[in-house]
Amino acid sequence: MNSIEIASRKIDKGERLNFTEALALYQHNDILKLAELARMVKERKSGQYVYYNVNRHINLTNICVSGCPLCAFGCKAEEQRAYVMQKSEVIEIVSQTMRETPDLSEIHMVSALHPDKPFSYYLDIVAAVKRAAPQVHLKAFTPVEIVHFANISQLGITAVLEQLKAAGLDSLPGGGAEILDDSVRKIICPNKATTAEWIDVITAAHSLGLPTNATMLYGHVETIEQRIQHLITLRDIQDRTGKFQAFIAFPFHPANTGFTNLQRVSSWEDLKMISLARLVLDNFDHIKAFWMMLTLPIAQLALTFGADDLDGTVVEEKIIHAAGATTKKGITKKEIISFVEETGYLAVERDTFYRPLKISSGVKSYG
Ligand code: SF4
């Protein structure tokens, strides 16, 4: 029996894949076989449902001390594009979004590592957002930002998380994982949180009852083996904590970064990564195809490659677009529902904890 047959049998029986089997699946060229396996696992976990939510992104500042070569968003304070939001501006955005979007269920807030803003600035904003929108879930701050807060406040990671939680933080988005291998991080983001720090923040958050997502940024200097090890590291954490809600793989967009010599990976590779993640991460309930990074057509295709979530309406996003993403900065519910229904699945509007809020009427009829 060859390694693909072994992997297929294990997936069929619901058994866990090891590193070698995952690598064999990645190296396998029959992408439709991967799709078939990943789709089977997706349907075991979430049946005919494909999730999305109504959310709003807010990026407080792009001024950053880190200067990561991989980044097109962060900049120095003296650059013309530099900005920092005041609390009043943030609250105005939140209030306006609530007026215009009554179904808003989540605010997603991530930013750069500002050199001077004290930890109290972030705590104040969290508390103010929570006061302005108490019923809206506040998902904010990557582990990289949490490490930055711990450094500038002289508090430990747990104390930072406790204070943010007390102020109103509900969960963490789990970004900044990139590839959890310090030899890669030294090249793409040498000044930001290490692998161990990223894991420390995630496990501390989980132990405080703050769920997170898990992410991966692929398609730069990493090897396929490092991508698979990254997935296995996440799976090991999930075995211990059970508090990852979803996994999101982001293809690297090289425009305006320190890696403009690189090409964005192909859609073939995007779909392989989605399937592989669905098959390796057997203890994750949800695999997200983040349409903004993938483009809508690839995200829609990803729904037949094991993804069960398209993320949200977003409304306005700056970080990915700084790196040359040409997708829209937001999308309507109607558009998302239509994209899902074309695939034959049901579009389910969810809250951040994947509780269904509204289920679409059904499959599009072509007959
Ligand atoms: S990736 Fe994050 S930490 Fe690095 S420069 Fe960009 S905003 Fe700053």
The residue segments making up the domain with residue 72 are 52-359
pLDDT of residue 98: 92
**Token pair belonging to 94:** 């939140």
Task: Tell whether 26 is covered by a domain.
Answer: no
pLDDT tens-digit series, residues 111-136: 999 999 999 999 999 999 999 999 99
Q: Is the dihedral of CA 26, 28, 32, 38 positive or negative?
A: negative
Q: How far is the CA of 63 from the centre of ligand 1 (A)?
A: 9
Mutate to test the pocket of ligand 1, among 60, 61, 64, 84 (most ligand atoms within 8 A of CB): 64
Is ligand 1 within 6 A of the CB of residue 38?
no
Q: Is 68 annotated as a binding residue?
A: yes
* Model confidence pLDDT, tens digit, residues 169-213: 999 999 999 999 999 999 999 999 999 999 999 999 999 999 999
CATH number of the CATH domain containing 85: 3.20.20.70
Provide the pLDDT for residue 325: 63
| Contacts of residue 71, Cβ cutoff 8 Å, sequence gap at least 6 | 64, 189, 257, 322, 323
Please indicate whether residue 113, judged by its CB atom, sits closer than 6 Å to ligand 1: yes
Q: What is the pLDDT of residue 367?
A: 41
pLDDT at residue 331 in the model: 83
Report how far residue 48's alpha carbon sits from residue 27's, in angstroms, rounded to the nearest whole number.
29
Whether residue 150 is contained in a domain is answered as: yes
List alpha helices for the chain, DSSP H. 3-13, 19-27, 31-46, 87-100, 119-132, 143-153, 157-167, 182-188, 195-207, 224-241, 267-280, 291-294, 296-302, 319-322, 333-342
**Residue 64 domain flag:** yes
- Which residue bears the tokens 């306006």? 96
pLDDT the model gives residue 312: 82
DSSP-assigned letters across all residues of 299-324: HHHHTTTT--EEEE------HHHHTT
Splitting the chain (367 residues) into consecutive groups of 10 residues, what average pLDDT does each group show? 83 95 92 95 97 93 96 95 97 93 93 97 98 97 98 97 98 97 98 97 98 98 98 98 97 94 95 97 97 91 96 66 63 88 95 93 58
Q: What is the pTM of this model?
A: 0.94
256 lines ligand 1 (CB under 6 A): no
Task: Give domain status of residue 240, yes or no.
Answer: yes
Residue 75 annotated as binding site:
no
Please check whether residue 235 lies inside any domain of the structure: yes
Number of structural domains the chain divides into: 1
pLDDT at 332: 83
